[in-house]
Amino acid sequence: MLTFELLATDGLARRGRLQLNHGSVETPAFMPVGTYGTVKGVMPDALVEMGAQIILGNTFHLWLRPGLDVLRQFGGLHRFENWQRPILTDSGGFQVWSLGASAKVTEQGVHFASPVNGDKLLLTPEVSMQIQAVLNSDVVMQFDECTAYEVDGRVTGEEAARRSMQLSLRWAVRCRDEFARLENPNALFGIVQGGMYENLRAESVDALAELDLPGYAIGGVSVGEPKAEMERIVAHTPQRLPAGKPRYLMGVGTPEDLVYGVAHGVDLFDCVMPTRNARNGHLFTRFGDLRIRNARYKTDERPLDSTCACTTCRGFSRAYLHHLDRCGEMLGAMLASVHNLHYYLNLMREVRDALDAGEFATYRERFAADRARGV
């Protein structure tokens, strides 16, 4: 089940409410990534406390470990990972793409060797739908071929991008049919592909819209392309998707990317950046980014961000976080992850408040000025 209510607009920016089987999501929203059934380094209760409304899981990885027998025993991913709010699962298309030459793409699906034990496997649109039905994820993503930005150092040409996009469209039809056959009560999203070619993106949008799916995603960005190319596609594509359906920008990105995406009509975002960067000592704050490994923070008694209400900023100094990071202590990565996720989730909360007040343009200017000010 999915309903999407558009509550307000400000230019192309949208304020909405998404109702799913495990609860509602106020949009625009950021979705923390929990690839293996866990958002790395963060307890589920902490995610709830900081305002996470929906998180991600990954079809490919959960299929391999712990496997469908275990997940079926628990009735799906929610009980298994003790998360009772909505979950979106990626279809596995990006993961098999990331395997590179070791994966063979055919009309049937993708043949590859398991990175866990070497078993020969075949992931098809039908198998992806079957796995995601077992996971019981609230939002199921179609199985697609993620069009690479470049292959062997060369930017993917238009004809190759067209073939890839059209394959994803054929797979979308197969996903829709299998999703219906399984009588999955959740929601299936299609994925727009087409590389960096606006005409192909438009063709993909038109074909997917004819399928009348509950929601749509923009894939094939954040795959190594220059920032300007990503921004060009984000400026082009979301507004062409059906206005009454939620729009999801996959795998993006920095705080600036999120605000840019909202300004161009995106409703949902995900990215591993908050937790991955946290584990590498890269912290996001209202006033710019901070590298906690820098020696300048060795005796700094201030919190990471004086305006932040997260557990980390309420209780710990930059000096302590610097110490934990330099010593490789697990708590350092955990506290940094809590802060970065809180920052992202609070950023989206502020964006929603600005849209509610009809002040998004003003907020966007203030956001940019604050981020440029520096820590």
Burial class (CB in 10 A: 0-12, 13-18, 19+), 349: middle
For 196, the 3-state DSSP assignment is: coil
Give the pLDDT confidence score for residue 92 in this predicted structure: 83
- Of 10, 138, 257, 270, catalytic: 270
Whether 270 is catalytic is yes
As averages over each run of 10 residues, the pLDDT of the chain (375 residues) reads 94 98 98 97 97 97 97 98 98 80 91 92 97 98 94 92 97 98 98 98 98 98 95 98 98 97 98 98 98 98 98 98 98 98 98 98 98 92
Tell whether 315 is in a known binding site.
no
Q: How far is CA 212 from CA 165, 172, 190, 245, in A?
A: 18, 11, 9, 9
DSSP string for 12-35: TEEEEEEEETTEEEEESEEE-B-T
Give the pLDDT confidence score for residue 304 in this predicted structure: 98
Closest CA to 248 of 281, 225, 222: 222
Burial class (CB in 10 A: 0-12, 13-18, 19+), 22: middle
Q: How far is CA 139 from CA 27, 47, 178, 261, 318, in A?
A: 15, 19, 15, 20, 38
| Token pair for 354 | 């600005």
pTM of the model: 0.97
Distance CA 254, CA 251 (A): 10
Give the pLDDT confidence score for residue 350 in this predicted structure: 98
* Cα 299 to the center of its chain, rounded Å: 36
Tell whether 244 is in a known binding site.
no
DSSP string for 40-92: TT--HHHHHHTT---EEEEHHHHHHTT-HHHHHHTTSHHHHHT--S-EEEE-S
Tell me the CB-side half-sphere exposure of residue 129, using CA atoms within 13 A. 25
Domains present along the chain, CATH in parentheses:
2-270 (3.20.20.105), 279-373 (no CATH)
Give the pLDDT confidence score for residue 100 in this predicted structure: 78
Tell whether 142 is in a known binding site.
no
Q: Taking a C-beta distance cutoff of 8 angstroms, is the pair 201, 233 a contact?
A: yes
Give the pLDDT confidence score for residue 374 in this predicted structure: 87
Tell whether 60 is in a known binding site.
no
Tell whether 313 is in a known binding site.
yes
Burial class (CB in 10 A: 0-12, 13-18, 19+), 239: middle
Give the pLDDT confidence score for residue 152 in this predicted structure: 83
Tell whether 144 is in a known binding site.
yes
Give the pLDDT confidence score for residue 303 in this predicted structure: 98
Is the peptide bond prior to 44 cis by the omega test (within 30 degrees of 0)? no
Give the pLDDT confidence score for residue 317 in this predicted structure: 98
- Of 10, 90, 257, 267, catalytic: 90
Distance CA 163, CA 156 (A): 11
Tell whether 95 is in a known binding site.
no
| Token pair for 291 | 């590298």
Tell whether 91 is in a known binding site.
yes
Whether 356 is catalytic is no
Q: Taking a C-beta distance cutoff of 8 angstroms, is the pair 305, 336 a contact?
A: no
